[in-house]
Amino acid sequence: MANLNSCGFIGRLTADPEMKMTDGGTARTTFRVAVNRYYKDKTGAKQEETTFIPVVCWGNLAENVANYLSKGREVYLGGRLRIYKGNVADDQGNYKYYTEIVANEVQFLGSKADNTPATTGEAAAKPNYDPDDLPF
């Protein structure tokens, strides 16, 4: 039986990446990407929905991301979905669950000059096409 856990996204960084080194000397970089979805509601009005996706990457990829990416930069992410249980229970004994993308591929899109971070701290991923032109 085969298993598959693969996902890909294009979006913009909502803040500068943060890199830390593990005790073993491996780089670990975390950041969040804003990915927009455009659709028409029941009345035909255009709508926009933004999803903020936490991302982690390791090793050389983590170092490159930390050194060359910044808030507002558009990227393609390829990786796998990871859902894990936190280590600390609340007063009722319940644990929080966390979701993140473990990236094994990060392609820098556009150029540094194309950075357009939002002033509110949440960058929006704006496509360079009209969603109405899509065939689906």
Q: How far apart are CA 29 and CA 46, in angstroms?
A: 35
- Kindly report the CATH number assigned to the domain that includes residue 20: 2.40.50.140
Q: How far apart are CA 31 and CA 135, in angstroms?
A: 32
Task: Assess if residue 62 is contained within a domain.
Answer: yes
Q: How far apart are CA 14 and CA 41, in angstroms?
A: 27
**Residue-level length of the chain:** 136
Task: Assess if residue 11 is contained within a domain.
Answer: yes
**91-111 per-position pLDDT tens digit:** 898 999 999 999 999 999 977
Tokens describing residue 51: 């999803």
pLDDT of residue 122: 37
Task: Assess if residue 134 is contained within a domain.
Answer: no
Task: Assess if residue 131 is contained within a domain.
Answer: no
Task: Give residue 88's domain range.
Answer: 7-126
**45-62 per-position pLDDT tens digit:** 999 999 999 999 999 999
pLDDT of residue 37: 94
Report the domain count for the chain.
1
Which residues are bridge partners to 117 per DSSP? none
What secondary structure does DSSP assign to 82-108, as a single string?
A: EEEEEEEE-TTS-EEEEEEEEEEEEEE
